[in-house]
Amino acid sequence: MRRLGKSVSAACGAGLFALCCPMMASAAPCDEYDPAGPSRSAQIRLDAGDLVDERGDELRSFVATGSIGRVVVAVVSSSPRGAVRAVSAVPEISRSSPHHGEQLKGISVAVSLVGGRRPVAVVLDLRQVCAQHFHNTFLYY
């Protein structure tokens, strides 16, 4: 009798697991086009290694996030103080990548600097809808 009870319990447990797994696997994907969707944030640091021109007036980077959802950016700090003229962070699909040419979803970041303010380091807070991860890449736009 005990064996029958154990077998029934095991069968019920396996059946419950089989019923729950498809529901977990079929969870609705995040809607990148819903501006009120769930978002994640991270801070990234740009410095002299991210300068894109000889004059040193602009920092650029591409942050791979796995999403093209809405982006919100804020300057956390800059060194020297007041070095940031303007900031742009827009969702974009990369034109090239470090892995066999596939395209990456992420954020294209550009920081315009006030001339004559060197050395420079800028910390930005990035928040994006449906972001899966934040990897600051070597890709520049």
CA dihedral over 83, 85, 89, 95, signed as positive or negative = negative
Mean pLDDT, range 84-101, rounded to an integer: 83
Strand-pair partners of 110: 60, 88
* Under 8 Å between Cβ of 61 and 46: yes
Convert the pLDDT of each residue in 2-44 to its tens digit.
554 555 555 555 554 555 554 444 467 899 999 999 999 999 9
Q: Please report the pLDDT score of residue 137 as a whole number.
A: 82
| Torsions phi, psi for 108 (to 5 deg) | -90, 120
140: nearest Cα among 113, 101, 118, 107: 107
* Alpha carbon distance 91, 64 (integer Å): 10
Whether the per-residue pLDDT at 103 is higher than 80: the answer is yes
